[in-house]
């Protein structure tokens, strides 16, 4: 893939500082046959409201986030709850490089070479009990590191911090769901959710929570940040679906960052053959 081969020169010229290298073996089965979005765009065109609402706020303010030392509490309905140090968590399973599409609910998309391992590998270790029906992800709460969490800094109504996201248990266990520590051959840049985030490629990007400090196994469907902010616009499931429009815009097509023409949006972001069976019999208009 040309863009990947060019990664070193991108790193050299990119506005964002290059991070430490992170080795991983490419898994071809989970690599889309589309060229990757440039490193520059992946690291300077971001949504990370903890830093601010503009696309360049995260890369401009990313230096404020300190991704080491860092722990992730894994608890709730599990037989073996544990607080993991980030460096221990990174070594729980072999790191893979996977090239996934990312589709933002706003109508743009990218193709990103992530590094991580299936969230399922962590889930199996902590042994969820039969009461665990959903998994809740919580982002760091710290207004010193995240200026967007200070009250009154934006004119628009602020989100309810910390950022909370969630998945149903079978979604969390799905082999595509990636616990992610890096991209483009290096540790995750802060603006992309260092030191650890989740990536759920068949769902709108906001389901992929960044800078996670807690993974909790729960019985009830988590109340997620965007659902609380606007329930009719951002549902819990939020599967990419060209047939269900956002109340304020169409979801039928998307702008691939770096391309001129819009592309047709694919059902489940092109992962239908792998994930459609999770939703058999579910009304995806009702459960948006």
Ligand X SMILES: Nc1nc2c(c(=O)[nH]1)N[C@H]1C(S)=C(S)[C@@H](COP(=O)(O)O)O[C@H]1N2
Instruction: Give the residues lining the site for ligand X (CB under 6 A).
Output: 46-50, 102, 104, 139, 163, 192-193, 205-206, 208-211
Q: How buried is 111 (Cβ within 10 angstroms: 0-12 exposed, 13-18 middle, 19+ buried)? A: buried
Residue 101 CB, nearest distance to ligand X (Å)?
A: 11
Q: Is 206 in the site for Mo ion (CB under 5 A)?
A: yes
118 binds, among Mo ion, ligand X, none (CB under 5 to 8 A by kind): none
What is the bridge-based pairing of β-strands 212-218 and 71-76? parallel
**Residue partners of 95: CB distance under 8 A and separation at least 6:** 22, 23, 24, 25, 115, 116, 117, 181, 182
Q: What are phi and psi of 5, to 5 degrees?
A: -60, -30
Residue 67's closest CA among 122, 147, 145?
A: 145
Q: Is 38 in the site for Mo ion (CB under 5 A)?
A: no
Q: Is 104 in the site for Mo ion (CB under 5 A)?
A: yes
Residue 185 CB, nearest distance to ligand X (Å)?
A: 15
Structure tokens at 174: 């799905």
Nearer to Mo ion, 114 or 117 (CB): 114
Determine the Cα–Cα distance for residues 212 and 226; give it in Å rounded to an integer: 16
48 binds, among Mo ion, ligand X, none (CB under 5 to 8 A by kind): ligand X
Q: Which stretch binds Mo ion (CB under 5 A): 153-161, 204-212, 254-262, 267-275?
A: 204-212
What number of other Cβ atoms are within 10 A of residue 287's Cβ?
12
Nearer to Mo ion, 116 or 205 (CB): 205
Structure tokens at 3: 């863009």
Nearer to Mo ion, 45 or 206 (CB): 206
Determine the Cα–Cα distance for residues 212 and 41; give it in Å rounded to an integer: 23
49 binds, among Mo ion, ligand X, none (CB under 5 to 8 A by kind): ligand X
Residue 136 CB, nearest distance to ligand X (Å)?
A: 13
Nearer to ligand X, 84 or 226 (CB): 226
Residues that bind Mo ion (CB under 5 A): 47, 104, 205-206
């Amino acid at each position: 893939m040309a863009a990947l081969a060019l990664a070193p020169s991108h790193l050299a010229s990119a506005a964002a500082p290059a991070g430490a290298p992170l080795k991983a073996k490419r898994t071809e089965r989970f690599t889309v046959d589309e060229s990757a979005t440039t490193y520059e765009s992946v690291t300077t065109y971001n949504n990370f409201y903890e830093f601010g609402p503009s696309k360049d706020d995260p890369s401009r303010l990313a230096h404020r986030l300190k991704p080491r030392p860092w722990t992730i509490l894994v608890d709730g309905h599990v037989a073996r709850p544990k607080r993991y140090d980030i460096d221990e968590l990174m070594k729980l399973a072999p790191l893979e490089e996977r090239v996934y599409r990312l589709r933002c609910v706003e109508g743009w998309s990218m193709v990103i070479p992530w590094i991580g391992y299936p969230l399922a590998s962590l889930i199996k270790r902590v042994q969820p009990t039969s009461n665990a029906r959903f998994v809740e992800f919580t982002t760091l709460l710290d207004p010193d590191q995240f200026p967007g969490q200070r009250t009154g800094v934006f004119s628009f109504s602020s989100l309810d911090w910390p950022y909370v996201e969630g998945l149903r248990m079978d979604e969390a266990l799905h082999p595509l769901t990636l616990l992610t520590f890096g991209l483009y051959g290096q540790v995750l840049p802060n603006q992309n959710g260092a030191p650890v985030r989740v990536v759920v490629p068949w769902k709108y990007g906001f389901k992929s929570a960044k800078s996670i400090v807690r993974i909790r196994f729960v019985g009830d469907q988590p109340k997620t940040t965007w659902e609380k902010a606007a329930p009719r616009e951002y549902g819990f499931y939020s599967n990419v679906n060209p047939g269900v429009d956002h109340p304020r815009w169409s979801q039928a097509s998307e702008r691939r960052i770096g391309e001129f023409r819009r592309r047709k949006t694919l059902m489940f972001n092109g992962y239908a053959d792998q994930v459609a069976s999770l939703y058999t019999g579910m009304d995806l208009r009702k459960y948006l």
